[in-house]
Amino acid sequence: MKRFPSNFLWGSATSAYQVEGGNQNADWWQWELDKGLENSGQACAHYQLYEQDFDLAKSLHHNAHRLSIEWSRIEPQEGEFSQEALNHYVKVILSLKSRNIEPIVTLHHFTNPMWLSKIGGWENKRSTAYFLRYCDFVVSALAKYVRYWITINEPTIYVSHAYIFGVWPPQVKSFLRAKAVYNNFSLAHIKAYQLIHKIYKDSGLLRPLVSVSQYVQAFLPCVKTLKNLLAVYIRNKWFNFGFLDKIARHNALDFIGINYYSRQLVEVKKWQVANLLMDTCRSNHDLVKKNSLGWDIYPEGLYNLLLKLKKYRLPVIITENGICTGDDNLRWEYIHAHLQNIHRAMEQGVNVSGYLYWSLIDNYEWDKGFSPRFGLIDIDYKAQGRTVRESARKFGQICETGVLEIFP
């Protein structure tokens, strides 16, 4: 039996675009239409049904919930701020607070207002200034209710998918342009960190806790050749730790937020930058179980990464960890195995202070549409029905007791 601290944050995460529905002013909405992709449409109608969803989270003993604010609702046109949208998010936060659920609020989770995309998105030198103006509007209103802020969700995933691999809007494949966006993101985070702290200080509020949600992956060489080992080193630096290192150097982190899902087996074919960054092993050796998108399940990777985070000397919150699967027993196994590895890392001195499962409810999985099922709660998209999965109840017991049995 393993015991977690009594003040541990237990809960789950969502993002606005993936659950709310009706986000017509976001760049993703337009991209879905342009590409003929499955439309996010009304998604989980969480914009209307959030009370019901939070009741379920409460019944599952969650004491924390991560959600995001949709920038394109707050600022549908450049410089036009919607008081109505802001009021909505105040109500959402208060509805969590009234259930004693700690809100952890993300300011940017992959989507941009359409107007920003039209003027070059995060490549535009003024993107940071626009982001700060939006942050100021939102944080000033929510500061008295919120302590935990995530400025940007997975900056390196956004940069690589949208500007290197070219699979997300605006579908660019250019290292140079990726670098510009990466730099604007890091500047945006550092400045937003300072701004958020200033807002709290000026209002006499308790210090906020601000971070990013950094996607980390276990990179393993398929065979230990020089090329593969070098690629693992580079990928750790660029994809896992580079962004954190940069913002940590500017003292712009109060905790480390990480999202962990899977591992990548590295097998590099050529001595070229693109190959060093992207090649993976295609053969089916070293078999492990997979989620429904084919990602390897590799819980010990989380343990190893957590140990590497010790160098920052900051508390760590797992801001996302989860599995899409049609097999709910596998979901439970996944959660259990990851919690075991988190506990093991805590025994080695890593200060983990929370775990948020991705996701509370099934939702819109970006370019993959609605078929991947990540939720603790099943969504019937036609009827907007909710059904709590068995894995959610088992996880709920851990949230309630803080006790993890040795076997799932």
Pick from 138, 123, 125: which is nearest to 27 by CA? 123
The kind and range of the H/E element at 50 are: helix 46-59
Residues 234-293 that bind ligand BGC (CB under 6 A): 259
Beta-bridge partners for 361: 377
Query: Helix count (H) and strand count (E) of the chain?
Result: 15, 12
Q: How many residues bind ligand BGC (CB under 6 A)?
A: 10
User: Could you tell me which stretch among 78-86, 114-122, 152-160, 187-195 binds ligand BGC (CB under 6 A)?
Assistant: 152-160
Hey, which residues between 201 and 230 contact ligand BGC (CB under 6 A)?
A: 215
Residue 18 or 160: the one with the smaller Cβ distance to ligand BGC is 18
The residue annotated as part of the active site, out of 320, 347, 365, 390, is 320
DSSP-derived secondary structure for 125-136: TTHHHHHHHHHH
Question: Which region, judged by CB under 6 A, interacts with ligand BGC, from 95-103, 151-159, 250-258, 266-274?
Answer: 151-159
Collapse the DSSP code of 315 into the 3-class scheme (helix H, G, I; strand E, B; otherwise coil) and give the result. coil
Out of 8, 11, 15, 216, the residue judged to bind ligand BGC by CB under 6 A = 15
Closer CB to ligand BGC, 149 or 215, in the complex: 215
Residue 355 in contact with ligand BGC, rule: CB under 6 A: no
Strands 385-388, 377-380: pairing is: antiparallel
Helix axes 127-142 and 83-97, enclosed angle (nearest 10): 50
Residue 193 or 366: the one with the smaller Cβ distance to ligand BGC is: 366
Of the pair 320, 404, the CB lying nearest ligand BGC is at 320
Instruction: Rule CB under 6 A: choose which of 32, 154, 279, 362 binds ligand BGC.
Output: 154
Select the residue interacting with ligand BGC from 37, 90, 157, 307 (CB under 6 A).
157
Alpha-carbon gap, residue 131 to 341, rounded angstroms: 36
> Which region, judged by CB under 6 A, interacts with ligand BGC, from 59-67, 149-157, 221-229, 302-310?
149-157
Is 320 designated active site? yes
Which stretch of DSSP H or E encloses residue 156?
A: helix 155-159
Taking the alpha carbons at both ends of the chain, their separation in whole angstroms is: 11
Min. distance of Cβ 285 from ligand BGC in angstroms? 25
Residue from 85, 365, 394, 399 binding ligand BGC (CB under 6 A): 365
d(CA 280, CA 302): 19
In sequence order, which residues have a C-beta less than 8 Å from that of residue 71 and are 6 or more positions away?
26, 107, 108, 111, 112, 113, 116, 134
Spatial distance between the Cα atoms of 39 and 95, rounded to a whole number of angstroms = 29
Shortest gap between Cβ of 298 and ligand BGC (angstroms)? 15
DSSP, res 62? -
Which residues of the chain form contacts with ligand BGC (CB under 6 A)? 15, 18, 153-154, 157, 215, 259, 320, 358, 365
Active site residue ranges: 320
